[in-house]
Structure 1
Amino acid sequence: MAHNHYDVAIIGGGVIGGSIAFQLAKRNVRTVVLEKERIASQASSAAAGMLGAQSEFASDSPLISLALKSRAMFGQVAEELKQLTGIDIGYVQKGMLKVAVTEGEQKSLQEHYEFWRKMGQPVQWLSASELASLEPNVNPTLKGVMYIAEDGQVSAPHLSLAFAKASMAYGAQWHEFTEVIDIKEQGGLYELRTNQGVIAADAVVVAGGAWSALFLEKTGLSLSIYPVKGECLLVKTEKPLIQATLFAKNGCYLVPKRGGRILIGATSTPHTFDQKVTVQGVTHLLEKAQELVPSIGGAELEKSWAGIRPQTKDGLPYIGKHPHYQNVWLASGHYRNGILLSPLTGVLIADLVEGKGSGELDITPFAVTRHHDAISTV
């Protein structure tokens, strides 16, 4: 790799890095993306693709305004990416069913429903007969069902690849198998030493998912980003069993995909980068899936995999400026909402890099400096 100079270098080629690259390149910003493996090779391709702006939040959170705004962007994003790349991101709006299996979960789900009803967002509590009419294959003994019409889904791998290809169409450069080993600042210019050579950039964006914290330690910054392993399965049925996504209060979800396939997720094992799929994980997911849709037991098990999601100690991502470097920005720690928040995160970071600020959105809760352990030793 030659010693090249760019306006912005993005570390991490997942859905967040890709969205940021797309927004910057579209604005004629000379952009390079440095990915240590392949495009979207980690959590971005492992994700179920749920756009759970309402299903993920049952109480007030700083993320809600971002989640709702980002969810609303997907119709336009899907169309724009299709025109630029020919890639169909699999955007489907058939709603989501948040369900309770036990009496205890029913109380929690009722509170979840009331929260969104008071917020004025579309949400419906379904009776047993309404559920049977809408989804006849779902277990009729469920204790509660909330229908969220506007929580849709996409194909996470297709979205991630489409962002990357669209950014390339606007001139962004991508370097796969390029790991950033060190960063140095000299006179306002950043030199990134990689296993493939040196890249120079006026600004740097760190969007490396669960691996971001490891790199940021090189800048004297200690963040609470840690890995959470999630195992998933894909099964295939002769006829589609469900139309809407099912998301149980116990964390299990069933996401209908093309060709009669259903994605079943996900286990949750914190503080590990191990991506082996376990017998215990598969068994757990299949048991929970059959509680929701009993006939799924006859489905063909097509494949299994594990992804590493980036979580933080307060559950909020880091979106904003590095406290000690003038033009280094962070966009990491989105956990289960990376796909959902990717369009808006791309716009936010591009605006911040260009000095436009965050507009009407308050991103203070996502500041890098919100935790005491972010104090640098530099």
Structure 2
Amino acid sequence: MNPSADVVVVGGGVVGCSVAYHAARRGARVVLLEAETVGSGASGAAAGMLAAQAEARGPDSFLDLLLESRKMHRKLGAELYEVTGLDAEYVWEGTLRVALSEAHAEDLSEALRWQREAGLSARWLDGAEVRELEPALSAGISGALYLPEDGQVNSPRLVRALALAAARNRAEVSEGEPASGLIRQRNRIAGVRTARRKIAAGSVVVCGGVASGTLARHLGIRLPVAPVKGQILSVETTTPPITSNVWDEECYLVPKRDGRVIVGATEEPGTHDRRPTLGGVAGLAGAAIGLLPHLARRPFAGAWGGLRPGTPDGRPLIGPAGDPEGLLIATGHYRNGVLLAPITGDAVSALALGEQPAVDLSPFSPLRFEGQR
């Protein structure tokens, strides 16, 4: 079967659209298959924080990946705007990890220590300095770890811009066309089947989020990806009362350029029901008002849920699936899909086209859980 595409990407979330965009930029013939509409899964539900330092737990390969992808985001917005005219609404105003208790302040002090030792921009603010930076925050905040290089983006707009940029680079973006199976020829994946056609391919990249394991199981491949539901709500403001991302132990607040403040997110493993619950919304609302009392007087704009693709160690599955050849995996990004989309797209598209990726993906190999139960 002669290939009709160099790369077929299964899944149109932020990671799949990034793979398609970067592969198409390299001149590849790309087909992106999305079962619903691009960004209809976890990517479209995400708050869009680019909190590389806030997410990390220490200096390791995962931190390196987060930092490199955050760096790529700095250029990506202008790139996409030039190609598509769509503004992904990047904001680079840092993250405040605030402390409402002495125990949490001690944890944040430890994070400050190792981040400074790693040469990263980070400093401690006492309560007065926190309110000097963000006057609307609660008087109960005793201090905060300030990470000035973190940022955020409008996640649904970023996904649309990546998909459109891929299409402008001659990729086929097919919505409403789920992959129903993989085509195997001897020891190689040779393409993808859908309800209406067979697409022969040089490489297939599975970027299906929580659904990624379905296709893999047909091949006897175990992808330990499980849903972790996250509920999010939105509050309308004329002008957001904060400029930074604000994050404590119970919730985070992300001020958007259109005036909304996004409040997230619950952590609910093992459920496939994305609908928000009264308890989830109530818990987030109470935590948000505790951080930012101003929000109690603002209109409630809505709530929604998404299913993050979690893995046993909280780190993504990126790279070759092993046997059979020709199959690449890019899933399991958990709560960092938006942040890690640029580096994943660039590295996986390179692998798909027989090139050496710019980063070492071995710590994130999909094969690292083989033999575990």
Classify the TM-score, shorter chain: over 0.9
Instruction: From the superposition, tell whether residues 373 and 37 of structure 1 become closer, same or farther in structure 2 (CA, over 3 Å).
Output: farther
Check whether the contact 2:30–2:172 (CA below 8 A) recurs between aligned residues.
yes
Taking the aligned partners of 2:222 and 2:350, their CA distance within structure 1 comes to 25
Taking the aligned partners of 2:37 and 2:196, their CA distance within structure 1 comes to 14
* 1:117-173 deviation per Cα after TM superposition (whole angstroms, max 9, x unaligned): 111100110122211211000012213201111000000001111000000000000
User: Superposition pairs for residues 1-378 of structure 1, below 5 Å?
Assistant: 5-186=4-185, 188=188, 190-248=190-248, 250-359=249-358, 361-373=359-371
Larger deviation, residues 105-114 vs 8-17: 105-114
SS at match of 1:259: coil
Taking the aligned partners of 1:112 and 1:87, their CA distance within structure 2 comes to 36
* 1:226-260 deviation per Cα after TM superposition (whole angstroms, max 9, x unaligned): 11110000101234211111011x14100001232
Taking the aligned partners of 2:195 and 2:217, their CA distance within structure 1 comes to 18
Alpha-carbon distance, 1:191 to partner: 3.4
Q: Give the AA of the match of 1:197.
A: R
Q: Give the AA of the match of 2:270.
A: H
Structure 1: 4+ residue segments shifted above 4 A: none
Taking the aligned partners of 2:165 and 2:54, their CA distance within structure 1 comes to 29
Alpha-carbon distance, 1:35 to partner: 0.7
Check whether the contact 1:221–1:374 (CA below 8 A) recurs between aligned residues.
no
Instruction: From the superposition, tell whether residues 315 and 189 of structure 1 become closer, same or farther in structure 2 (CA, over 3 Å).
Output: closer
Let me know the Cα RMSD of the aligned residues: 1.6
Q: Give the AA of the match of 2:322.
A: P
Larger deviation, residues 316-325 vs 189-198: 189-198
Unaligned residue ranges in structure 1 (runs of 5+): none
Larger deviation, residues 175-184 vs 308-317: 175-184
Between the two proteins, the alignment pairs up a number of residues equal to: 371
- Share of identical aligned residues, percent? 38
Q: Give the AA of the match of 2:94.
A: G
Taking the aligned partners of 1:183 and 1:11, their CA distance within structure 2 comes to 10
Unaligned residue ranges in structure 2 (runs of 5+): none
Taking the aligned partners of 1:107 and 1:189, their CA distance within structure 2 comes to 51
Q: Normalized against structure 2, the TM-score is what?
A: 0.96
Check whether the contact 1:16–1:345 (CA below 8 A) recurs between aligned residues.
yes
Q: Give the AA of the match of 1:347.
A: D
* 1:46-99 deviation per Cα after TM superposition (whole angstroms, max 9, x unaligned): 001000110011323421111111101112110010010111001111111011
Taking the aligned partners of 1:337 and 1:189, their CA distance within structure 2 comes to 28
Taking the aligned partners of 2:110 and 2:171, their CA distance within structure 1 comes to 46
Q: Normalized against structure 1, the TM-score is what?
A: 0.95
Check whether the contact 1:320–1:331 (CA below 8 A) recurs between aligned residues.
yes
Alpha-carbon distance, 1:365 to partner: 1.1
Taking the aligned partners of 2:171 and 2:112, their CA distance within structure 1 comes to 43
Taking the aligned partners of 2:197 and 2:354, their CA distance within structure 1 comes to 29
Check whether the contact 2:48–2:153 (CA below 8 A) recurs between aligned residues.
yes
